[in-house]
Amino acid sequence: MIFNWSNFEEHTKHLLGQDIEPESITESPLGRAVLYRFDQPTGVGRMEYFDYSRDMRVMIFDCTWREAKDFHIKDGDWVRFNFSLSIDISMQLSKTKNVSPASPSWRVINNSPDEEVVESVPAGAKTIWLTICCKPALITQLTGRKIEDMPDLLKTAMTEDLYDSFYEFFDFTSRLNSITADVIRTSMTGGLRLAYVEARSVELLCLALNEIINSDGKQNKIKLSTSDKNGLEAARKILLGCYENPPTVAELGRQVGLNRNKLFYGFKAMYASTLSDFIQNQRLEKGKQLLLETDIPVIEIANRVGFKHQCDFSTAMKRHFGITPSQLRGS
């Protein structure tokens, strides 16, 4: 079944079973919100969908998938902004373009109206993200700019005869990370939740659009051969196995046969993450796992995953997950 940003409830029943019912449905002049919680063989977690009257739709995933999943999506004329705290998926954007985004990160995704995107989530994957879809009209309203005055990236997304599929990622600032965590973890309910998610989502959109408009628009373009891609995948596997004490960029480059620039920019092009952010993400994910599944003291966990000081570990956990180690353990 193809998800098209208007069939959330139908798609959820297809995904989780026809017997599942929403935990809550909220309606107000602002729009409509639907919340599902689930714990079943396929996965456990929460999915929320907000359909706002201002040409904006928001989806929140906070799930752990016990079984591999393929999500088939058609964006239509919606422009997609995704803000991820934790993501482990493979995105088949076209027949020739596949990306595996790292987290935390944010990205803009635009596809031709009839083009189908397949997002594959492996078994055991944790997905924590917020996606905002909006129509071109909302972008022009927020920016106060005509389409012809937009940067090329937005102009391509908003002009029907220029439609071109693209995937662009940007640095995930601490402010964007904090707002995303606030939205995903707010305890508000009912109409207040509907209003709060709308307000913070518009804030995220404004920050994202400001970044796009005020950036120089120059992406680090790099051509990658099959050999380069194999080397970058080898580098990723090496980092997954020794993130607590990783090799230097120069050492890693020698191991996989890539120069520094090709390794740095190629890794970011393939995995939507810098080398340092990828390593940090692996450390924090492993730290979170140890906090939840063991009684090992926090200071020892911090050392095990590569942090020299417990306070640095706690600060990084708070920034990444929106919660401290002690809060995660409920103590």
User: How confident is the model over 305-310, as a mean pLDDT?
Assistant: 90
Choose among 270, 275, 281: nearest CA to 104: 281
Across 212-226, average pLDDT: 66
CATH classification code of 226-328: 1.10.10.60
Rounded mean pLDDT, 81-104: 67
Say what the pLDDT of residue 100 is.
62
Chain segment 226-284, per-residue pLDDT in tens: 899 999 999 999 999 888 888 887 789 899 999 877 887 788 888 877 788 888 888 99
Q: What crossing angle do the helices spanning 260-271 and 275-293 adopt, rounded to 10°?
A: 60
pLDDT, one tens digit per residue, over 21-71 is 999 999 999 999 999 999 999 899 999 999 999 899 999 999 999 988 888
According to the model, what pLDDT value does residue 163 have?
A: 46
What does the pLDDT read at residue 101? 61
Q: What is the dihedral sign for C-alpha 109, 271, 63, 123? A: positive
Of the two residues 216 and 143, the one the predictor is more confident about is 143
What are the backbone dihedrals phi and psi of residue 7, each rounded to the nearest 5 degrees, phi first?
Answer: -120, 40
Q: Please tell us whether the domain made up of 2-214 is placed in CATH 2.60.120.10.
A: yes
* Max mean pLDDT range (12-16, 57-61, 120-124): 57-61
Write out the DSSP string of 223-283: ---HHHHHHHHHHHHHHHHSTTSPPPHHHHHHHHT--HHHHHHHHHHHHSS-HHHHHHHHH
Looking at per-residue pLDDT, the higher value among 250 and 10 belongs to 10
Q: For the chain, give the mean pLDDT.
A: 85
State which of 105-114, 127-136, 141-150, 158-167 shows the largest mean pLDDT: 127-136
Bridge partners of residue 35, in order along the sequence: 24, 48
| Pairing mode, strands 69-74 and 2-3 | parallel
**What is the domain partition of the chain in residue ranges?**
2-214, 226-328
The pLDDT assigned to 217 comes to: 46
Higher pLDDT, 106 or 60: 60
CA distance from start to end of the chain: 43
Least confident of 11-15, 185-189, 318-322: 318-322
Distance of CA 100 to the CA centre of its chain: 11
State how far Cα 227 lies from the chain centre. 28
